[in-house]
Amino acid sequence: MSSPHGRPKKWHRSIECGSKINLHLKVTGRRPDGMHDLSSCFLFLNHPGDRLEVTGGEGSMTLECPGFPELANENNLLWRAGTAFAQAAGIKPEWKLVLEKKVPLAAGLGGGSADAGALLKLLNEYYSALDEENLTRLAFSLGADVPFFLHRRAAWVTGAGEYCRSIGKLPEIPHILIVNPGFPVSAKWAYSHLPAELIGADDPSAEENFVNGSVDWQEFCINDLAPAIFRKFPLLEIIKEQLYADGALAVQISGSGPSLFALFESADESAAAAVTVKKRFGAMEGMKFFTAG
């Protein structure tokens, strides 16, 4: 049996949703609606990432999150993305969504936005319902980071997240170690505690130096949201100092935190640093380590 769109009534797709780190995050302005304009280098990561299974032709939309039943409801950004796409495309939302959650919640790694972006990408590839402009507009209506996850590649992001300029040729990126301390930080809190004096124009040479490959990583890896987060959670400053002591080229908070990323010249150095940090802090409940890729 076929759907009204001429496609099989029953279908199945899966996708690895990925995540991101902000190698560079400068807040350039505050909008009247409370959103903030950015100049930020987003790096797409295949790992860590959630896994999404979508089965079509189920009669209605359902959502399962094994191990996280509290996420399986209509407030989940994934559910909202499915509902919004169905409305925009003029189709019935008849999908069973099963999300295998691997990215920590409220971690500054874009897990929820990655899930929503992956679903929009998958659905639009199947139905061919929206052009790129309208799909991007729909993604932005769901969250500032969602448009980035439609394209799933490194980009320089401006505006409040709606403008993504893909970076064709990346410089050689050092080995990335991510340390998530096991507690969440809300983006709303991080932005509400951003010191006003930090808001301003980005260094125009930052993007140029990155694209040209002449990067001083410690200078490049800034985050205007980080100072308030480090003040509220002194543990993060201690972990940062340990990572530097273990040879990191740069250590910074990703996005609205609290996850730290550290850049190392070699995989061996990254692995050794992970061992050191685990020995010193690994007994903390919920702390997670990822070798990004």
Catalytic status, residue 278: no
The token duo for 6 is 């001429």
Of the residues 20, 101, 121, 240, which is catalytic? 20
Q: Using CA atoms, how far apart are residues 89 and 93, in angstroms rounded to an integer?
A: 10
Q: Using CA atoms, how far apart are residues 169 and 172, in angstroms rounded to an integer?
A: 9
Q: For residue 21, with 0-12 CB atoms within 10 Å meaning exposed, 13-18 middle and 19 or more buried, which class applies?
A: buried
Q: For residue 80, with 0-12 CB atoms within 10 Å meaning exposed, 13-18 middle and 19 or more buried, which class applies?
A: middle
Q: Using CA atoms, how far apart are residues 105 and 65, in angstroms rounded to an integer?
A: 13
Residues recorded for the chain: 293
Of the residues 50, 115, 145, 202, which is catalytic? 145
Scored b (16 or more CB within 10 A) or e, 160-181 reads bbbebeebeeeeeebbbbbbbb
Report whether 284 contacts 181 (CB < 8 A): yes
Q: What is the DSSP letter of 70?
A: G
Determine the Cα angle at 227 with ends 165 and 237, to 5°: 110
State how far the alpha carbon of 140 is from the alpha carbons of 183, 187, 201, 213, 258, in Å. Answer: 27, 16, 23, 30, 23
24 closest CA partner among 221, 247, 241, 292: 221
Catalytic status, residue 169: no
Q: Any idea which residues carry the catalytic annotation?
A: 20, 145
